Structure 1
Amino acid sequence: MEKVKVIAEIANAHQGDVNILNSLIKAAANSGADGVKFQWFKYDHLATEEYNFYKSYKDLFIEEEKWQDILSLTKQLGLEVWVDIFDQWGLELAQKFALFIHGVKIPSTIIQGEELIEGILMLERLTLLGVGGWYDHEIDAFVSGLDQKHIDRLVLIHGFQGYPTKTEDANLVRIGYLKERYKLQVGFADHEDGSKPLAIDLPIYALFAGAALIEKHITLERGKKGYDYYSALEPDEFSLMVAKLREAEKAMGSTKINDSERKYLKDSLRVVAKHDIEKGEIISLNKTVNKRCSSEKSLMPLEFKEISPSIARDKIKKDQPIISEILEYPRITIAVVCRLKSTRLPQKALLPINGLASIERCLLNCLEVLDVNQVVLATSHLPDDDPLEQYVIDGRVKVIRGEPDNVVDRLTKVARETGANILLRVTGDCPAVAPEILNLLIESHLKSGKDLTMPTSEHAPGTAGDVYTVESLYRLLQQKKPLTHTEYLPFYYINNPKLFSVNYVDLPKEFRYPQWRLTLDEQKDLELFERIYSDLDIKREPLYFSKLREHLIDKPQLTKINKHIALKWKDDKELVKEIFEATSLDK
């Protein structure tokens, strides 16, 4: 079975205090929860002043500007972000921070707010629908009104939410009934009295009843009886509940077969290489085939899928069984390639943008990319580039120096010194490179198994990078033709399809702004970046594309500052011809 998802429901247990909220998030992470759920509303959007709880809503309100740091902390701790949306203010906040959000919940109290529900569905996230107390015909009516794409993202949440909650009202048998009737995943929102032992065990019973998701309140100290304390578990209790859930999963078993069954099924299909695979190459699914073979150590298809993507430790021949010993996990390094030889804008990497050097802006954004093992500033060994040695960002960035004019040689040195088998190249003239885009490119590269992954041209120059399988860089170095234009590295791959494979990525529409120029080459570019970073008051912190996009859409006049500047490698026909001839290895 798939791992049951555990969501720590914070709700209003933060009492309106960001420090308490951060402590709850950390407690949820330490407990083993998969995610946390926040409630987003604003008092004057949710209720009128004479409403009984208006003052409470006001006391609980956390301002919009504080949520960026809260969500960043949540992501850093490896937690999914889930949100209850109660009003238009909450919806607008969710739209702003959509890239952080894993899933949303439609509270039962807004079920007749058609416009609000429509807005929530348009977020295109996993959607929880609380159906506790609903009649079947009411659920039927709601589900029948959804498009298939919304149904595919829908999870029904069973659970009685009255206080005090009687044990007999848990009605767990309904979980299996709902799964069968609607062919949807069903979760359980437990509101048993948190002081009872059953508050820990009831979610385990729900798991055995078929729940795919458990939603449970968390509080720092139930005895203080703050908001949403009644059914909440304290951190140690929450940890115990999660531990019991994981043990229960073991008892339920899985689709994996045991040793005895494997021996019995020794003639089952195994994973073997479809063709020769080089050492260091990504072993994607399309590079393998399932056949019978004599090696019982050869992975079965499901086993191989579970550990994909993988990298070949050694060369693998066609039909050779794929065993775990010849595989290694991807080790990813971001190499920010930078020198100080610019003539159009001398030493542009050192020029300040709202108080920080341009190259530091670029590195701070790269450090936000997920699942990356190392960020490197790759420069030359020439004395002119010595000033770049200082930009280690509190020791989080490693400076590696190599050949001045051969970027490929420099990148392979980076790979050797960091142990990388996947390398993401970012040029140092990108002070607004987008962590979100780099995340997408890495994910796509690992799935594709290609030598190079790069976005199509439908994005703002300066916001992306290109991802290489390190093995292909060594292959490029071995070519007989001198490598003279390595600063235009992707063209060596694009112009030699017989030697290299390229994975082109169509970025989601929220990243498609090719009319914006966000690269630093001339004075007007610097002026644009200074305006952006100063307007947004970005200090020594990363700038996410979601925030940048919102600002440039709100102030379209900014992008006109440098709109007239041409992209040299794209618009200079003589240079384009020169690059093409130099990077075509068969010429």
Structure 2
Amino acid sequence: MDKPRVVAISQARMTSSRLPGKVLMPAAGRPLLAHHLERLARTPGLDGVMLATTVNAADDPVVECAQALGIAVFRGDEQDVLDRFAGAAALVGADLVVRVTADCPLIDPALVGRLIAAFHDGQPLDYLSIDSNRYPRGLDAEIFPRRLLDEAAAKAADPAEREHVTPYIYNRPDRFRLGSALVPDRPVDPVDQRWCVDEPADYKLVRRMLETLLPANPGFGWQDCCKLLRDHPEWVDINRSVRQKTLH
């Protein structure tokens, strides 16, 4: 049996309602999207990386950023993200899809690689994810076969399933083989961290982290991020209000 082709597909657009243009905001001299894509591309076990964006002219700069890094791009419907992912997966010839979002510039390639390895090991699975309640937010990733993405794109009728891509799979445990989400080996310290960029306070924190970590350790991982925040406990307060808001 041929080895399945594993491709990471990340979604990005300029028209975020809470922080428009966030993916191209600068940090350490480069757009957040460039940090995200370059880190993602270092993931062990990946055969390719693709960016899925929209056909809107506003997203032309997103396309240019990705293409400058040698990342393939698929452009599709802004609202039907599920169909956009299915089109991207077909274009790149993926057998297994790793889904991530471009508002995660601190994504950890080693952790995504662990997700891919875990999906291959043991009993056959249809879906596996990183537990975003146990890891800091902003490290999120999920993996599933393209055939299920195609099925979801053909059959999903709920608007939430079209927007969020994978609920069609993980909300049907009676039909699909769902693996136990990956959790850290030990509790995260500091706890309750949020490293995805949705609001200005998130951007302020993540930019500060990138500009501190990159000069000394370009290949930093998520544990290095935790250590940085332990060394600078006052930084934890930067986006505390956003974290508290998302809990309610």
TM above 0.5 = yes
- For 1:571 and 1:510, how far apart are their aligned partners in 2? 22
Q: In structure 1, what is the equivalent of residue 207 of structure 2?
A: 530
- For 1:551 and 1:539, how far apart are their aligned partners in 2? 12
Q: In structure 1, what is the equivalent of residue 134 of structure 2?
A: 458
Q: State the Cα deviation string for residues 37-59 of structure 1 (Å, max 9, x = none).
A: xxxxxxxxxxxxxxxxxxxxxxx
Q: State the Cα deviation string for residues 435-464 of structure 1 (Å, max 9, x = none).
A: 121011111112242221112321100012
Q: In structure 2, what is the equivalent of residue 469 of structure 1?
A: 145
Q: In structure 1, what is the equivalent of residue 41 of structure 2?
A: 367
Q: In structure 1, what is the equivalent of residue 224 of structure 2?
A: 547
Matched, 1:415 2:85: no
CA gap of 1:558–1:509, structure 2 versus 1, over 3 A, is farther
Of 429, 438, 449, which residue of structure 1 is paired with 2:124? 449
Q: State the Cα deviation string for residues 381-401 of structure 1 (Å, max 9, x = none).
A: 111211111123654311111
Of 481, 488, 494, which residue of structure 1 is paired with 2:170? 494
- For 2:93 and 2:99, how far apart are their aligned partners in 1? 15
Matched, 1:517 2:208: no
Q: Which amino acid aligns with 1:489?
A: V
Give matches, 1:145-224, under 5 Å. none
Cα contact 1:517–1:559 (8 A) shared by 2: no
- For 1:537 and 1:484, how far apart are their aligned partners in 2? 37
Q: State the Cα deviation string for residues 328-381 of structure 1 (Å, max 9, x = none).
A: 211111111111111211111111112211111111110110121111111011
Cα contact 1:335–1:378 (8 A) shared by 2: yes
Structure 1 length normalisation: TM-score?
A: 0.39
Structure 2 length normalisation: TM-score?
A: 0.88
Q: In structure 2, what is the equivalent of residue 481 of structure 1?
A: 157
Offset of residue 540 of structure 1: 11
Aligned-pair identity (%): 24
- For 2:186 and 2:175, how far apart are their aligned partners in 1? 33
CA gap of 1:480–1:358, structure 2 versus 1, over 3 A, is closer
Cα contact 2:213–2:220 (8 A) shared by 1: no
- For 2:25 and 2:156, how far apart are their aligned partners in 1? 39
Q: Which amino acid aligns with 2:98?
A: L
Offset of residue 481 of structure 1: 2.5
- For 1:545 and 1:483, how far apart are their aligned partners in 2? 33
Matched, 1:434 2:111: no
- For 2:36 and 2:199, how far apart are their aligned partners in 1? 17
Q: State the Cα deviation string for residues 276-316 of structure 1 (Å, max 9, x = none).
A: xxxxxxxxxxxxxxxxxxxxxxxxxxxxxxxxxxxxxxxxx
- For 1:469 and 1:337, how far apart are their aligned partners in 2? 18
Q: In structure 2, what is the equivalent of residue 561 of structure 1?
A: 238
Cα contact 1:437–1:511 (8 A) shared by 2: no
CA gap of 1:551–1:539, structure 2 versus 1, over 3 A, is closer
Give matches, 1:270-419, under 5 Å. 327-392=1-66, 394-419=68-93
Aligned residue for 1:551, secondary structure, equals helix
Q: Which amino acid aligns with 1:453?
A: L
- For 1:393 and 1:359, how far apart are their aligned partners in 2? 12
- For 1:377 and 1:540, how far apart are their aligned partners in 2? 26
Offset of residue 542 of structure 1: 5.0
CA gap of 1:497–1:537, structure 2 versus 1, over 3 A, is closer
Q: Which amino acid aligns with 2:142?
A: D
Q: Which amino acid aligns with 2:105?
A: P
Aligned residue for 2:110, secondary structure, equals helix
- For 1:393 and 1:545, how far apart are their aligned partners in 2? 27
Q: State the Cα deviation string for residues 172-218 of structure 1 (Å, max 9, x = none).
A: xxxxxxxxxxxxxxxxxxxxxxxxxxxxxxxxxxxxxxxxxxxxxxx
Q: Which runs of 5+ in 2 are unaligned?
A: none
Aligned residue for 1:392, secondary structure, equals helix
- For 2:177 and 2:80, how far apart are their aligned partners in 1? 21
- For 1:395 and 1:341, how far apart are their aligned partners in 2? 22
- For 1:537 and 1:549, how far apart are their aligned partners in 2? 14
- For 1:555 and 1:480, how far apart are their aligned partners in 2? 45
Q: Which runs of 5+ in 1 are unaligned?
A: 1-326, 573-587
Q: Which amino acid aligns with 2:55?
A: H
Cα contact 2:115–2:182 (8 A) shared by 1: no
Offset of residue 562 of structure 1: 0.6
- For 1:509 and 1:529, how far apart are their aligned partners in 2? 24
- For 1:554 and 1:444, how far apart are their aligned partners in 2? 32
